[in-house]
Amino acid sequence: MTDGESAPTDAIGFLTVVEHDEQGLIGAYLILNSSGRPLEFHCTAPVKPTRTQQILFGPTLDSYLIGEQIGQTLLASASAQPLALCTDVERGLLVREYTTLPLALVIPPAAPSSPEAVAPADQTWRMDVSHGSSTPLSVFEVGRNRLAVPGGRTEDQELLAARLQGVLALDLCEPFGRIRDAIAEANHSVRT
């Protein structure tokens, strides 16, 4: 394998966080060209917050771990600059605080339309207001894909609609399956 000479201008970034019962959080970032081919892949070592961190960061823990630690680190690792970012977990939207790129939550086609129910991976029930999504999500469609941005980021909606024109035929949910397979492959490789 050789490094690419230059980053294409039509790349899209796919960022996700996978929660593993034993290992903790694993962040992964896949950059694809407009044909859906992989250009770069970055994944973090598992991150498991300590009890102290859980207590001291409290509700800011997700923002710290996913946004600042995982998201910011992954974005900094990439050499290609994509046009836009996508995530498949609502908590992934926390990364938006650390990047200038528009970031969309990709809603699976079968998911209910209610924005409140778009985070299947997040099983935590909160009795207070989540810091990561203190405002409701704004759902919109680009091509065949349903996307959402935090209500306070409506400017991203326009940016995403414009920047994703080149990938209208792509299923933006599909790359996240590849990412999970890649994480499983990497885990398997480490174990063997």
Partner 1 sequence: MAASGLTSQSRAASLHSGTNRPAAIGAKNMISWRPSCEVQLTQFACESVAPDLRLSWVGALACPPLTNSLRLAHGSTPKSLSLSIKPASLRVSSFRFPHPGSWFEALRAPLGGHAAVGDPRSLDRPAGATKTRISPPPHVIKLEERLFYVLQPALESVLGDASLAMPFRPFPYQLDGVAFLYPRAAAILADEMGLGKTMQAITAVRLLLRSGELGRVLFVCPKPLVSNWQREFAAWAPEIPIAVVEGEPAKRRWLWQQTDTPVKFANYELVQRDRELTAELGLEFDLVVLDEAQRIKNRSNTTSQAVRALKRKRSWALTGTPVENSSQDLVGIFEFLAPGHLCDTMKPRGMGRAAAEFVLRRTKEKVLSDLPPKVVRDAEVELGSQQRASYQLAEKEGVLRLTELGDSITIQHVFELILRLKQICNFDPASGESSKLERLVADLDEVAASGRKAIVFSQWVGTLETLSDRLRHLRPLVYHGQVKPQHREAVLEQFRQEQDRSVLLLSYGAGGVGLNLQIASYVFLFDRWWNPAVEDQAINRAHRIGAAGPVTVTRFLTAHTIEERIDQILREKREVFDAIFSDVEPQANLGLTQHEIFGLFQLRCPSGPVALPASVPTSGEASVMPAQ
List binders of partner 1 among 8-37 (CB under 8 A). Answer: 8, 30, 32, 35-37
45 is a site residue for partner 1 (CB under 8 A):
yes
Nearest to 146 by CA among 109, 96, 92: 109
Among residues 52, 100, 113, 114, the one that binds partner 1 under rule CB under 8 A:
52
Distance CA(136)–CA(64), nearest Å, equals: 21
List binders of partner 1 among 81-140 (CB under 8 A). Answer: 109, 124, 126-129, 131, 134
Contact 182, 188 (CB under 8 A): no
Nearest to 93 by CA among 38, 146, 130, 140: 130
Among residues 59, 112, 136, 152, the one that binds partner 1 under rule CB under 8 A:
59
47 is a site residue for partner 1 (CB under 8 A):
yes
Window 146-185: contact mask with partner 1 (x via CB under 8 A): ---------------------xxxxx--xx--xx-xx--x
Nearest to 121 by CA among 85, 92, 142: 92
**Candidate ranges 62-70, 82-90, 113-121, 151-159; the one touching partner 1 (CB under 8 A):** 62-70
- How far lies 35's CA from each of 1, 83, 121, 167, 170, in Å? 19, 14, 27, 8, 8
Distance CA(15)–CA(28), nearest Å, equals: 6
Least distance from partner 1 to the Cβ atom of residue 135, Å: 12
How many other C-beta atoms are found inside a 10 Å radius of the C-beta of residue 67?
22
141 is a site residue for partner 1 (CB under 8 A):
no
Distance CA(92)–CA(15), nearest Å, equals: 7
User: Residue numbers of the site for partner 1 (CB under 8 A)?
Assistant: 1-6, 8, 30, 32, 35-45, 47, 52-61, 63-64, 69-70, 73-74, 77-79, 109, 124, 126-129, 131, 134, 143-144, 167-171, 174-175, 178-179, 181-182, 185-186, 189
